[in-house]
Structure 1
Amino acid sequence: MNLIARNIALRRCLSTHRFTRRWAIPGSSPAFFSTFPAPPPHRTNAEQAKSILIVNKLRTKPVIDTIDSFLDHLRTHYPNVRVFHEDRRDIPRDVEVWRPGDGAEKIDLVITLGGDGTILHASSLFKVGAVPPVLSFSMGTLGFLLPFHVDDFSKALESVFQGKATVLYRMRLSCAFLDKDGNNLGKEGEDWQVMNEVALHRGSSPHLNTIDAYVDRQHLTEAVSDGLIVSTPTGSTAYSLSAGGPIVHPSLSALVLTPICPRSLSFRPLVFPASSSITLRIGDRSRAPAGVSMDGQASHVLNPGESVTVRASLHPIPCINRSSISDPANDSQGEGAGPGKEDDWVRDINNLLQYNATFRSKALLRHSRM
């Protein structure tokens, strides 16, 4: 696809116009509803076999017990659903093994059990094409991406299969690594798909990196710093935030460029439209190569002259909202929006990030708990 055609496709996919998109889960009544600008949908038909993929953190006893409860519930209430698990050690009982890549079984719903890293791992399993809706349950740390508590799994599943669930499309990045001559460094032809961020950093080197940043093939700046981060709006509350980047609502379509400890005080974070492409090239004068990490996982080492080009992926991740199963009775009590209202992000920046919490309000909060 040439550059002009790709930009047209992106504008159609990531238009700021809001409309309703339905997602079909086999056996459900009306499908998922989303008011986020949607890409071409991942659709399933009721006549096709239903399938769920379980992705979990390391199998500690609480995780094992939870998976057993999940499987018992699925067998009792949704007996026609095929349940898959990725090919790892200690495969749960009575499930089918699922392997990503060409020829993989079609998945209609992904269920994650763990922390935020579990969702990032689930994203990495779908490197090509559309991603199924993701239903995430908290069993780990932080939980900024985890809408549901694991104790609510029966209610959440009921909401999904009754067609009441809403999804928020979380943008992903498409990353291509190039050598000095512009040839792809990867062994495979496909680009890497990233949910949070791609970060170039000096790693264990004592020297700063020199990185040339290009936006839509125009030279933006030569950055002398510990590194640079390109993040999605979802990733704006991860590494980018720690480096001083802005907090961006996940329903926006944007690329965030954040420097890591720049030598220049005037190098501030920048936000670009999702139709832009950002190329980070290790300068010929750089005294150190740059390590590359994507969603916290080390992937490449770029030497002077090599580069990575980052664009918005055409395949975001549809994450099921916590507000999908909110109790409508709470609306009159002012305890948050009802079903279908995408208010999860506002709750999370207040409850998890303690956004704009003053010393006095924290003291009052502690006093109220005594």
Structure 2
Amino acid sequence: MLGRTSLFKYRPPVCSLPIRRLSNHPSGAVKTLKKPPNSILFVKKRNDDVVASALRDVAAHVRETYPGVQLFHEQDSNLPIGVEPWSSSDARSRPIDLIITLGGDGTILHASSLFKTGVVPPVLSFSMGTLGFLLPFNIDTFPQALDEIFTGKSEILERMRIACTFHRQDGSEMGGSANTAWQVMNEVTLHRGRSPHLNIIDAYVDGQHLTEAVSDGLILSTPTGSTAYSLSCGGPIVHPSVHSLLLTPICPRSLSFRSLVLPGSSRITLKINRGSRAPAEVSMDGQEACILQPGEFITVEASPHPVPCIKRSADLFTSRRDAEKERTIMGEKGGGDDWVRDINSLLQFNATFKNKHLATERL
């Protein structure tokens, strides 16, 4: 059994905005912001003129409607008026109360990476990219969305993150840049990279040996990441409120090796077998982390710092027609679930085949 090492150390929070839990909610998972934000960090899709224009509009609206709120953006040569440069090293001296993302799902993953060693501020995400699993708000509704935040009406869904540490063959933690308390929102992937040989990876659950995986690699993902790389490799779709970890093989040699859903309280260890002919490259949310040699391993468990994502209310649909359709499907309350909409609209979940003959006749 591999010895358990201390993973989390106390770190001062970087978000000063308190969050209130709604005690009357049956699952207890829904929260609201307790007071309006004093500081906002913008994270946008790069090299996109449309997104840059939207950023200027949102920043101008905040300055005019909510004077006194500090506005920040990552270091950039062309910042809008009133927006100050900010970096992750400023997290303690210049705390952030709210993150506004403009772009695709990747912008939220990037925002999460800016706070990978501690608390993540609430995230308000506007859809201006290629995917929308994490993007409940249309950019045209930003005045109403901000009004709900500043009046305390916004609800929050906490999306799980996973924390990782890297270890040498003797079990000691690796130092330096290879072990910077990574916390990721989608997945951790161990893969053979450019090696022509398969990886041999031993997987342990809470210290108990689960299996020896001979494959192109393994994916350990959160429920949020279940619709990303894990899904492409045959993994299940899991609702983000389900506290769990998904272990999914990449092109396994054994046809009986299928994806597993494990308890969110589990501590997973993935060790490169000493007999493996290939090292394993480790990537996290699309970022290269390090290379693990035979005998080295990574430990993964749920992070105490999830990503609080602001949910869209029933009043913030992209159009009146969408709102009426939602009320018809979900009942008079009409709130619905962003996740249900996503898997139907983006994944075409369980969509039936169209009759090509009938489709031709309608033309």
Same fold, TM-score > 0.5, yes or no: yes
**2 CA distance for matches of 1:205 and 1:227?**
11
1:19 is matched with which residue?
A: none
User: Which SS does the other structure have where 2:265 is aligned?
Assistant: coil
CA-based RMSD of the aligned residues comes to: 3.3
- 8 Å Cα contact 1:216/1:278 also seen in 2: yes
For each residue in 1:32-87, what CA deviation from the matched residue of structure 2 results, as whole angstroms up to 9, or x when unmatched?
85956559x998766xx700000011042112211110111111111121111122
Matched AA of 2:200: T
Matched AA of 1:148: F
User: Which SS does the other structure have where 1:347 is aligned?
Assistant: helix
Paired residues in the alignment total 347
Matched AA of 2:167: L
**1:338: Cα distance to partner?**
7.5
Matched AA of 1:258: T
2:349 is matched with which residue?
A: 355
TM-score scaled by length of structure 1: 0.84
Q: How does 1:191-340 map to 2 (within 5 A)?
A: 191-323=181-313, 325-326=315-316, 330=324, 333-336=327-330
- 8 Å Cα contact 1:32/1:166 also seen in 2: no
User: Which SS does the other structure have where 1:68 is aligned?
Assistant: helix
> For 1:161, which of 147, 150, 153 is the aligned residue?
150
> For 2:161, which of 172, 177, 180 is the aligned residue?
172
For each residue in 1:130-172, what CA deviation from the matched residue of structure 2 results, as whole angstroms up to 9, or x when unmatched?
2111000111111111111111111111111111111111000
1:64 is matched with which residue?
A: 52
2:124 is matched with which residue?
A: 135
Structure 2: gaps (5+ residues): 9-14
Q: 1:352 to 1:42 in 2, by over 3 A?
A: closer
**2 CA distance for matches of 1:322 and 1:367?**
38
- 8 Å Cα contact 1:25/1:108 also seen in 2: yes
Q: 1:340 to 1:157 in 2, by over 3 A?
A: farther
Q: 1:161 to 1:206 in 2, by over 3 A?
A: same
- 8 Å Cα contact 2:187/2:221 also seen in 1: yes
**1:325: Cα distance to partner?**
3.7
**1 CA distance for matches of 2:63 and 2:164?**
40
**2 CA distance for matches of 1:50 and 1:368?**
58
**1 CA distance for matches of 2:282 and 2:57?**
39
- 8 Å Cα contact 1:323/1:337 also seen in 2: no
Q: How does 1:110-121 map to 2 (within 5 A)?
A: 110-121=99-110
User: Which SS does the other structure have where 2:120 is aligned?
Assistant: coil
Q: 1:255 to 1:332 in 2, by over 3 A?
A: closer
1:78 is matched with which residue?
A: 66
For each residue in 1:179-215, what CA deviation from the matched residue of structure 2 results, as whole angstroms up to 9, or x when unmatched?
1111222426752000000000011111100000010
Matched AA of 1:309: T
User: Which SS does the other structure have where 1:74 is aligned?
Assistant: helix
**1:279: Cα distance to partner?**
0.5
TM-score scaled by length of structure 2: 0.86
**2 CA distance for matches of 1:337 and 1:128?**
42
**1:93: Cα distance to partner?**
2.8
User: Which SS does the other structure have where 2:51 is aligned?
Assistant: helix
- 8 Å Cα contact 2:22/2:28 also seen in 1: no
1:147 is matched with which residue?
A: 136
Structure 1: gaps (5+ residues): 8-22
